[in-house]
Amino acid sequence: MSLSMHEASAAVFTRMLSALSALLEKAEAHAASRKIEPEALLGARLFPDMFSFTRQVQLTCDFAKLCCARLSGTEAPKHEDKETTFQELKARIAATLAFIESMQGDQINGTESKDVTLKIAGKDTKMKGRDYLLFFALPNFYFHATTAYDLLRHNGVEVGKRDFLGLA
């Protein structure tokens, strides 16, 4: 039995975004119990030149929704990147999940050879659907999801691998 493009994309994004939403719940509870201003976690960075925790969550959502949109040939929902609270970030994840869950398998399956064009550093870059998913969308999705997790862990939120994997 082979793995379909839908299973390798939408199913993965759904699982991990649900886990990320649960991480936000833990982060919000951590901030409240420790009397930490939520902005301290939302604006957290490991180094001054990197994106904040909030931006990591936004980008995680963006890579998931844009991948599904590009593969299916549909329009992705637009988000204004204005989230400033845990609740707003959870709403963004929920909206992203709703879009991804609206994708039927036949909209994404069979797109392995589909031409996907996107701008990278201002230049049009073309890839086949399989390469776009495996070597661009998924690595970027996991990079930002992992960085969001790491920022919470670094700042004392009690989360572990099971939380990251959505097994907690």
Query: What digits encode the pLDDT tens for the residues 107-148?
Result: 999 999 999 999 999 999 999 999 999 999 999 999 999 999
d(CA 28, CA 42): 10
pTM for the model stands at 0.96
Residue 168: the pLDDT is 85
Listed as ranges, residues in the chain with pLDDT below 50 are none
Domain ranges of the chain: 5-161
Strand partners, 116: 127
| 5-161 carries CATH number 3.40.1310.30 | no
